[in-house]
A and B are shown apart, each in its own frame.
Chain A
């Protein structure tokens, strides 16, 4: 009997000592022992034995989604808000292939997930059996690791190892493909004793010499900046506190990627807002003009750098990342540090104090003066209207009404997502759910469901668009079934707004298939699912409607009809450098050449 290393469920351990269990029972036991409280899933033929075990127990709650993609995004929302891995259960074949978009999304945004997929019985594998797909083959490039379990006695060890792999190092999704006969076959429940993978040991602590060099470079900087990313969120809430402590100590401005929002308090004066394609004027200019850059948990994505040969020329670049392959991938780094963000920040703070680096630091007055001048550009300004609701205004008012409520915000993908990133303020990590790397429309609604399951009493809002919403609207059924008080805030402009914006800017306004024709009546759609539906079109009624949405005890869908043809600014246009931003009202040229046009 193994499992002596487990703290939870000792009693159940003793009961089952030496007894034979089915593979399905082993799965439930291992998940329970690992502290899993929620599974997002959808049943089917190849997972019936597991569903039968779920039926017989009450320790793990199963949330029935309406589509497997929804299960994975919900698990992402759960993982992103709790810091624990999300768990998904789907059947073979179409169940697994429907999960692929969610897995890829989790891969690109480094979200820890365990996805158990059913598989046809071992003797049928390779026979084109009913609902058979080569799940390990299909998911190999979109998971951190995957397993096909061929021996029933391996089930517990594989599950423990999968949790270790998903949550250590750079987090990511792990698939465990379970043939149906393995779920049925009985064997002794044995653990080999080790929790981790045989050889996989990510480096957590950075090299001391490199960290010292980095601290001194930051202290010597005349125009230093911190560029923080999703790695801060993945490193846990402590990393955010350490980031804040370090930035305060050194008096340095901080900008954040889309994925890193909340890692540093947005209300802090040292925060410059998001950087990148729709980042703020001050953040992008400060990145371009800085002389020392500390990139931490961020990967110099093309949406951040703009034209890469013009990205922050002349700065000394320090990059802290847990993944070696993120370093020197797009941009040459001067001081690379392989480390967990929290560990590296702890060291930087220690070194800063030890070496009394504040004393050596040149005054940053001129740098902050320059930053204030950029800020005065007021780059997020827009022309308000009393005839229609401007999308920016809708989010400003939403921000006003959720102020201090610790709301969790999920988004879909497109203009509304960028406006949400610009206008909503996150002071704490784990409150912002968005699909950054893959840009998955349809992510937000299920992600908000996952967050609401994890935090039943918190205000969870899906800021959505009319087009994105339709990509996973079937999850209204899940919201209704579990009576989840999710608020769905659809910024309805009757367009795939970002596609329309690019067509207007780069394709002479030929709006090819970007109009959302035949939209449903969203209010009635919500009502069809037994959810309160609302709509607003009059700017004068915006505040009272938002207030009513938030105060309603239960799920609400608000169809917020916003201005149809509004572009999202600032914008770094295709093929431009990150300091060549367009602002509202600028005369906009078409991309200079085909090469620029290709940099989408």
Chain B
């Protein structure tokens, strides 16, 4: 009503957005180019084919911005020609979101035992083991993964590979 400056209204919030796209060459570049070209944040982005029969991929992007910016992001995504659907999971109800991390830890003796014990507490799987190293696989919310990596940093952390979030709405309906 007051036509005030849109850019400054409201707090900055994090949103998880699901995008169903045609699985065609360059579609990921279109999405990423839109974010970089218009100056939007990408906190994480994952993409994979989810339905080969229909040749579609699902992109899950975690972004942040004011209400106006988030609305713009969704509208801009929606007008890309190969985009079928855009859903803002953060505002459309409950959803589950998971990241995956592979964490390599090297060490012997007490530190090695402690690393394994913590991994069990975090329900991480051992997916590779040698006499002086482990690779743990861990899924969960981003902050759980952060906590685990943080603990491992004192126990011989070598390197980490992480995905961004993948997310689905709770309940029986599809996007």
Interface residues of A (CB under 8 A from B): 136-137, 140-141, 144-146, 148, 165, 169-170, 197-200, 308-309, 311-317, 323-325, 327-332, 334
Contacts and interface: CB of A to CB of B under 8 A. Distances in A.
B2 A332 contact: yes
Contacts of B172: none
Interface in B1-26: 1-6, 9, 22, 25-26
A5 B168 CA distance: 41
A314 B1 contact: yes
A158 to B, nearest CB: 12
A460 B33 CA distance: 39
A327 B76 CA distance: 11
Contact of A324 (B1, B75, B82): B75
Given A140-B30, A328-B72, A309 B4 contact: yes
A74 B64 CA distance: 42
B26 A309 contact: no
Top 7 A-B pairs, shortest CB-CB distance:
A325-B75, A145-B81, A324-B75, A309-B5, A325-B76, A200-B81, A308-B5
A306 to B, nearest CB: 12
A334 B1 contact: yes
A316 B6 contact: no
Nearest to A322: B79
A334 B1 CA distance: 6
Given A140-B26, A197-B81, A199-B22, A308 B1 contact: no
Given A145-B81, A325-B78, A331-B3, A137 B72 contact: no
A314 B2 contact: yes
Given A136-B26, A165-B81, A198-B22, A327 B33 contact: no
B107 to A, nearest CB: 44
Contact of A308 (B6, B29, B33, B75): B6
B71 interface: yes
A328 B3 contact: no
Nearest to B26: A136
Interface in B90-109: none
B68 A328 contact: yes
18 contacts: A136-B26, A141-B33, A198-B22, A199-B22, A199-B82, A199-B84, A308-B3, A308-B5, A308-B6, A309-B5, A314-B1, A316-B1, A324-B79, A325-B75, A328-B68, A329-B72, A332-B1, A332-B4
A328 B71 contact: yes
A120 to B, nearest CB: 17
Contacts of B2: 313-314, 332
User: In the complex, which of the residues B3, B4, B68, B79 has the most CB atoms of chain A within 10 Å of its own CB atom?
Assistant: B3
A312 B79 CA distance: 28
Contact of A141 (B1, B9, B37): B37
Interface in B70-89: 71-72, 75-76, 78-79, 81-82, 84
A316 B4 CA distance: 12
Nearest to A136: B26
* Dominant secondary structure of chain A at its interface with chain B: loop
A224 to B, nearest CB: 15
Contacts of A140: 26, 29-30, 33
Task: Say which size band chain B's interface belongs to.
Answer: 20 to 34
Nearest to B9: A332
Given A197-B81, A308-B3, A334-B1, 5 more contacts: A145-B81, A312-B3, A323-B75, A324-B79, A332-B3
A240 B22 CA distance: 36
Contacts of B68: 328, 332
Contacts of B72: 325, 328-329
B81 A144 contact: yes
A324 B78 contact: yes
User: In the complex, which of the residues A199, A308, A317 has the most CB atoms of chain B within 10 Å of its own CB atom?
Assistant: A199
Contacts of B6: 308, 328-332
B98 to A, nearest CB: 28
Nearest to B71: A328
Interface string B39-67: 00000000000000000000000000000
A443 B146 CA distance: 54
Contacts of B37: 141
Interface in B132-174: none
A312 B1 CA distance: 10
A312 B37 CA distance: 29
A314 B68 CA distance: 19
Contacts of A165: 81
B79 A323 contact: yes
A199 B19 CA distance: 14
B54 to A, nearest CB: 10
Contacts of A309: 3-5
A187 to B, nearest CB: 20
A19 B111 CA distance: 74
User: In the complex, which of the residues B1, B29, B82 has the most CB atoms of chain A within 10 Å of its own CB atom?
Assistant: B1
A170 B76 CA distance: 13
A523 B2 CA distance: 54
A314 to B, nearest CB: 7
Nearest to A326: B75
A309 B6 CA distance: 8
A323 B29 CA distance: 22
A145 B33 CA distance: 13
B114 to A, nearest CB: 49
Nearest to A169: B79
Contacts of B25: 148
Contacts of B71: 328
Contacts of B4: 309, 313, 332
A7 to B, nearest CB: 26
B34 to A, nearest CB: 8
Nearest to A146: B26
Contacts of A323: 75, 79
A286 B37 CA distance: 35
A146 B29 CA distance: 12
A137 B75 contact: no
A23 B9 CA distance: 53
B33 A325 contact: no
A438 to B, nearest CB: 15
Nearest to B37: A141
Contacts of A327: 75
A331 B2 CA distance: 9
